[in-house]
Amino acid sequence: MQINEIQAIALLKNGDISGLEYLVNQYQVKAVQTAFLITGDPYAAEDITQNAFLRAAERIGQFNDQLPFQPWFIRTVINEAIKYAKKQTRNTSLDGYDESVLDWLKDAKPLPEKYVEDAELRNQVFNALMRLSPDERKVIIQRHFLEMNEAEMANDLNRPRSTVKWWLHTARKKLRFIWNGNQRENEGVNHENS
């Protein structure tokens, strides 16, 4: 039987987990991808997302079903991802970077040069992203991955829009600075190797 979100929430509120199944199928991809971009840890991202769905099921009684589910749910995912990320001690040098994440980025098959370059770019951006603080990552992800506008971010973060602008500005500035620094390092390495 086809159901919609409102019906799924109603089912869940009545204790029917088929309602939760609908919500999981609808939002699991966005949620786990968001959690990954904040934590940089795929295992943690899955755990955080699963726990967030379970917690949502427990608290569904508090949810106002006049509002869309995704923002409410994604906020929980983000908060848990931030908490996880803050607990981790991240080594800021590339040498200490978590190899398991790099494994996820490697492609098993040889690729044409263009795709190798694109993959390298993504790797560099990922490295730079992981060098931001968790809170800085959060605003970048909210704006550039979840495509929230400033008004939505201001409402979610409970801050004025001018503060949101300021946070985005500093996070982008830092990201650009780190990424440019990585570029210079790589150019230096390539120059030595040529």
Size of the site for another protein (CB under 8 A): 66
**DSSP code string of 105-139:** H--SS---HHHHHHHHHHHHHHHHHHHS-HHHHHH
> What is the three-class DSSP state of 179?
helix
* Structure-token pair, residue 164: 């949101």
Question: Residues 112-141 vs another protein: string with x where CB under 8 A?
Answer: ------x--xx--xx--x---x-xx--xxx
* Structure-token pair, residue 156: 């979610």
Binding of another protein by 75 (CB under 8 A): no
Candidates 6-14, 41-49, 60-68, 69-77: pick the segment binding another protein (CB under 8 A): 41-49
* Torsion-angle region of 180 (φ positive above 0: left; ψ -120 to 50: alpha; else: beta): alpha
Candidates 102, 105, 111, 116; binder of another protein (CB under 8 A) is 105
Binding of another protein by 89 (CB under 8 A): yes
* Nearest distance from C-beta of residue 150 to another protein, angstroms: 6
The overall longest dimension of the chain from CA atoms, in Å, is 66
Residue 149 CB coordination number (10 Å): 12
- Residues in contact with another protein by the rule CB under 8 A: 17, 20-21, 24-25, 28-29, 32-34, 36-37, 41-47, 49-51, 53-54, 57, 84, 88-91, 98, 100, 104-105, 118, 121-122, 125-126, 129, 133, 135-136, 139-141, 143-145, 147, 149-150, 159, 161, 163, 165-172, 175-176, 179
